[in-house]
């Protein structure tokens, strides 16, 4: 005599991931805002990358035009060209805090955000506004791992652990910075400032391919720290 177990004919239910274009992850002192997950980014230089904003919670409620994480500490604050989109992000965050029904932004956990990025299968721009070194290194690694490619830059390479060099370029403004950052294990991204007639660049640098070959960041993929074994540092003219 055989004992045969009954088959479970109940259909498995698979929870579908709700389609969201703009996500907000709540950290203690800042918000991580992730946009362009579904809709394409209109940024001609980067191409269609998912954009990220690191917004200081206290500064976003003050009457200031600079409210990105670490922005007030940045030596290049006066040269920053991020204007219009950061204001729209701040306005959306304020609406989210007061009445979430008035904005398309949605508050999610970090793990939920990772699921959306993985499903999107797109490239990622770390720090569209705000310095990405405010993020824990482990979180940056997770964000990068669920993205097709990434770009990232930090002005705070002197102060943070050198392990960030795996994912972020060191933003530099002079030859001494280039040499120092490279000695720490970073690849540098040098901005050639307009107010200087001549610039000293070491032989390890190549010009940004957006300037030299009209390639987008999505096409170029070079500004990814040391993550993929790239060796060259990059320079570009101030814009």
- The set of residues, in sequence order, having a beta carbon less than 8 Å from that of 62 and lying 6+ positions away, is none
Examine the pLDDT at 94 and tell me if it is beyond 60: yes
Confidence of residue 76 (pLDDT cuts 50, 70, 90): confident
Residue of 148 and 202 predicted with greater confidence: 148
Residue of 202 and 69 predicted with greater confidence: 69
Q: Which of 19-28, 205-214, 227-236 has the lowest mean pLDDT?
A: 227-236
pLDDT of residue 183: 95
3-class DSSP state of 55: strand
pLDDT of residue 195: 78
pLDDT of residue 3: 54
pLDDT of residue 63: 85
Task: Say how far apart CA 235 and CA 192 lie, in whole Å.
Answer: 7
Q: Which of 50-54, 169-173, 189-193 has the lowest mean pLDDT?
A: 189-193
Express as a percent the part of the chain with pLDDT over 90.
73
What average pLDDT does range 58-75 have in this prediction? 91
Q: What is the pLDDT of residues 100-111, one digit of tens each?
A: 788 889 999 999
Q: What is the pTM of this model?
A: 0.89
> For the packed helices 110-120 and 137-145, what is the interaxial angle rounded to 10 degrees?
30
What average pLDDT does range 176-193 have in this prediction? 94
Partners of 32 in the β-ladder: 25, 54
What average pLDDT does range 224-236 have in this prediction? 87
Examine the pLDDT at 8 and tell me if it is beyond 90: no
Nearest residue to 105 (alpha-carbon basis) of 42, 26, 46:
26
Q: Which two tokens stand for residue 214?
A: 């009209």
pLDDT of residue 5: 57
For the chain, the domains span 23-237
pLDDT of residue 102: 82
Confidence of residue 14 (pLDDT cuts 50, 70, 90): very low
Examine the pLDDT at 131 and tell me if it is beyond 60: yes
* Alpha-carbon distance values, 160 to 60, 78, 89 (Å): 24, 22, 27
Q: Which stretches of the chain are DSSP H helices?
A: 84-98, 110-120, 137-145, 175-183, 209-212, 217-220
């Amino acid at each position: 005599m055989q004992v045969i177990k009954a088959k479970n004919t109940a259909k498995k239910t698979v929870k579908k991931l709700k389609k969201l274009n703009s996500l907000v992850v709540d950290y203690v002192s800042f918000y991580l805002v992730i946009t362009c997950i579904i809709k394409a980014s209109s940024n001609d230089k980067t191409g269609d990358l998912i954009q990220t904003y690191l917004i200081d919670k206290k500064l976003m409620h003050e009457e200031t035009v600079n409210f990105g994480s670490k922005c007030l500490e940045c030596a290049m604050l006066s040269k920053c060209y991020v204007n219009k989109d950061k204001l729209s992000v701040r306005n959306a965050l304020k609406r989210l805090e007061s009445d979430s029904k008035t904005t398309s932004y949605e508050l999610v956990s970090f793990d939920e955000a990772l699921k959306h990025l993985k499903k999107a299968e797109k490239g990622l721009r770390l720090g569209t506004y705000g310095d990405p070194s405010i993020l824990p290194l482990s979180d940056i690694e997770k964000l990068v791992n669920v993205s097709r490619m990434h770009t990232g830059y930090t002005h705070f390479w002197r102060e943070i652990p050198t392990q960030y060099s795996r994912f972020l370029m060191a933003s530099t403004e002079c030859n001494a910075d280039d040499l120092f950052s490279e000695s720490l294990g970073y690849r540098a991204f040098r901005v050639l400032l307009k107010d200087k007639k001549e610039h000293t660049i070491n032989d390890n640098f190549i010009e940004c391919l957006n300037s030299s070959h009209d390639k987008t960041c999505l096409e170029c993929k070079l500004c990814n720290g040391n993550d993929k074994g790239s060796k060259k540092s990059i320079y570009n003219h101030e814009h």
